[in-house]
Structure 1
């Protein structure tokens, strides 16, 4: 059973880190779930109140960052609410519509189309689309760093 527990935990960590880059996967949730899997298979004894506070705060920050940083990138370059919505829709649909490059093209086109619908000139729409991609890359960096922190904290606490 120990081997099965570790296989599930490692698989959830891998899914979690993949979710940092591929937003359709439940990245931080998978890592958080791995913490419980360890407790169910082995013991919750290693976890203190501070462990849960730290992990939960990181989870909350990641949920907020997932949406706020992308919106910030669009807003920073003058985007409207329509371009924020377009970017979010593009982020969800892009990877399915264009498998290889949809993660970048989807938010870019979504923000651009949203900005053009709101009446902006094509030049501004392209600028806002680039802001969306900048926000996406910023979010990925934040997610990778914080999710790695969650895993490292887990390993330190457990071992």
Structure 2
């Protein structure tokens, strides 16, 4: 049963890491669910309540980081709330219209459109779009780092 539990956990981990790049997958949640499935199948022999609470807090940190990194990027490059709202709308529309490529182009176009609708100059709007991309990429790297730490903690807890 432990082998099956580990295989299932690893499948969830791989899907979760993919979710760091593909926002249609809830990456950190999938990683946490993989740990929960492992715990259930092994009758929680090696992973306790403190571990799961700590991992749940890490999941919250991932989502907080994602939001704050995007907002930081927009603000750092002189963008306004209109750019932030535009980038969120652009992300959703980009994913719907362009699929995975929409995660790259959608936030940028949305931030630029938000700033232009807010009567900003094209130069300012493009700078906000670039800030959105910088924030998105930094957030993705931070999310990935946190998720890798979550997985390392899991293996340490199971095998230590």
Aligned match of 2:114: 114
TM-fit CA distance, 1:49: 4.5
Equivalenced residue count is 159
Aligned match of 1:138: 138
How far apart, in 1, do the equivalents of 2:105 and 2:93 lie? 10
Q: Which sections of structure 1, spanning at least 5 residues, go unmatched?
A: none
Asked whether the 8 Å contact 1:24–1:92 carries over to 2, the reply is: no
Query: For 1:25-57, what per-residue CA distance to the aligned partner results, in whole angstroms no more than 9, with x for missing partners?
Result: 110000111111001111312123442343122
How far apart, in 1, do the equivalents of 2:91 and 2:158 lie? 36
Tell me the TM-score normalised to structure 2 length: 0.91
Alpha-carbon RMSD across the aligned residues, in angstroms, is: 1.6
Aligned match of 2:99: 99
Aligned match of 1:10: 10
TM-fit CA distance, 1:21: 1.0
Asked whether the 8 Å contact 1:58–1:146 carries over to 2, the reply is: yes
How far apart, in 1, do the equivalents of 2:99 and 2:24 lie? 12
Asked whether the 8 Å contact 2:16–2:25 carries over to 1, the reply is: yes
Counterpart of 1:45 in 2: which secondary structure?
Answer: coil
How far apart, in 1, do the equivalents of 2:3 and 2:157 lie? 20
Structure 1 position 62 matched with structure 2 position 62:
yes
1:102–1:39 distance in 2 versus 1, CA, 3 Å: same
Q: Which sections of structure 2, spanning at least 5 residues, go unmatched?
A: none
Aligned match of 1:33: 33
How far apart, in 1, do the equivalents of 2:43 and 2:158 lie? 10
Tell me the TM-score normalised to structure 1 length: 0.92
TM-fit CA distance, 1:93: 2.5
Aligned match of 2:45: 45
Counterpart of 1:43 in 2: which secondary structure?
Answer: coil
Structure 1 position 78 matched with structure 2 position 83:
no
